[in-house]
Structure 1
């Protein structure tokens, strides 16, 4: 009887372990594979990051990340459905399962990483909050202190509002926030003269100004008032998908560091004797196996969008933004790919 009891307990424990294993097998990753499409939440229209081109196809640095994931997981960069989301909509869309991942200039901070049932894969772009003014209308504004008691257009549902309030309090300034939903509405309000200044990430200001016929009328003030590490955000329920999302960042950065490009990646896999390149391309090692993918996962991603530097040159350089902190660690920047072993 005692043996039978312990046998039943052992079997129950095994069943529980099997159930737990199945529950953590990867709901998001399984859903992506079953439907054959990655659903990617992107910006409603931020030039250089995620915006429809003249043909209506999404393009940009954040879009390239989604394409790279789709190529690695599903075999094709075209197997992506893009869902445009405002700052207000993005977190609900992720938490409800409407999208698999946010690749949408979202700042990585402790609240979003610990209290919202979500997690960040890493930093895809280092940014910071800046201010722009119309120099013709406000010729005497040269620095932030000159905006004391001025009205400032700001998008709701972002860290931008709080950053501005924190900065004003710390520097004994008064800003009068004029709040709008959506970046497009906020930009139009500023351009029409509703506010004395407009504040958002420096990349957002560059994206607004790049195509403005009156670009020369505007001045971006030199002060950067915040750290904005932007990165892909996903639900905290799928270690497999999280690992792929994280290592995609490192893979594209490592490709740049190692000189592996969209044009030469196949040749590098076949001919390179560099052990780092061999592991990156799957010629040796088991990085892909550890991620639940095949050996060519990174090769397909690089063939789809190029390395990180190529994506940056194609999408961000036209905005006039220098690499700065987004350069590789050995080029004076902060991008530091973790070793693949």
Structure 2
């Protein structure tokens, strides 16, 4: 007992000395089963939507494009050094949780909100927010509505299996608004029902509605009303029980946000390797072992940045003025620019 106590005391003393000298004691990285499976398979399986402009929608070649899809590519680049080593599994809103729970995918990046139920009851864990949003309503300008509060007696289309139905029902009930909600499994079914006049409005995350509006035949004939009836921190989910994989997904997103804060872009990342800024040096793997702590190469972050760009470049590509879904950045601006997007420190 004395020997063990002395040994523990000696280890504690050594740790205290190292800490006082500015060092940290690192445990050996524990490679999780998901990372091992992904490496053995040779590619990442990522769940995304296929009809959500700005987030994940098929281009003319049938390739998913959007911020969700690019997050998947960034994770693949962090793991393999190659953003192309990802396979996209497009699923409905009602199926995406089941696919992740069953192991059919390694990661879900499908406009999913961070909620208590998904973490506490569904066996999932939220990795990181990459878009702050709120639920709204899309309707026809011909109705002359100024607010969603004027949708009395309206029929509203919404996707099944998500939060849109619950949010809309609870909000309407709280203000005494009578609406009828019709659910559809797929986004294209929602659009078709709205286009045929079956419903007066669509409710979903406002950013998704802006993207859907841009794809309608005459966008000017439709409007996203200004009301926001919920908080929707959108991001990525992984299964609970594999902290190593959670670290990889979470910190890949944080790396892209930090890159924007530090002025690291897709184009200048190699030049930034010579920076004397310790924050830049740690992020890009010049100093520290932050990649190896997760079982990755120390160039994990620079690989992700070179694959998709920093967070600002991601946003501009999919939601900027030149994109198909121009959306003011708003609260998704960096915290240094009046927003709430904030990169946790890589230290």
Q: 1:68 aligns with which of 74, 84, 107?
A: 74
Number of residues paired by the alignment? 315
Within 5 Å, which residues of 2 pair with 1:31-42? Answer: 31-42=37-48
SS of 1:256's equivalent in the other structure is helix
The answer for unaligned runs of 5 or more in structure 1 is 1-23
SS of 1:123's equivalent in the other structure is strand
Q: 1:272 aligns with which of 271, 275, 289?
A: 275
Q: 2:291 aligns with which of 288, 292, 297?
A: 288
Q: Which residue of structure 2 aligns with residue 20 of structure 1?
A: none
Q: Which residue of structure 2 aligns with residue 160 of structure 1?
A: 164
Offset, 1:25: 4.3
The answer to whether the aligner puts 1:303 opposite 2:302 as a matched pair is: no
Output one character per residue of 1:198-232: Cα deviation in whole Å (capped at 9) or x when no partner: 11111111111113231111121111100011110
Contact kept in structure 2, 1:26 and 1:237, CA below 8 Å: no
2:105, 2:82 → 1: CA distance?
A: 18
SS of 1:232's equivalent in the other structure is strand
Q: Any runs of at least 4 consecutive aligned residues in structure 1 with deviations exceeding 2 A, and if so which?
A: none
Contact kept in structure 1, 2:100 and 2:239, CA below 8 Å: yes
Offset, 1:237: 2.0
Q: Cα RMSD over matched residues? A: 1.1
Output one character per residue of 1:14-73: Cα deviation in whole Å (capped at 9) or x when no partner: xxxxxxxxxx74111110011110000000221111122112222110111111111110
SS of 2:312's equivalent in the other structure is helix
SS of 1:282's equivalent in the other structure is coil
Contact kept in structure 1, 2:108 and 2:238, CA below 8 Å: yes
Q: Which residue of structure 2 aligns with residue 327 of structure 1?
A: 333
1:133, 1:69 → 2: CA distance?
A: 36
Q: 1:186 aligns with which of 174, 186, 190?
A: 190
**TM value normalised by structure 2:** 0.89
2:259, 2:288 → 1: CA distance?
A: 16
Within 5 Å, which residues of 2 pair with 1:118-133? Answer: 118-133=124-139
SS of 2:157's equivalent in the other structure is strand
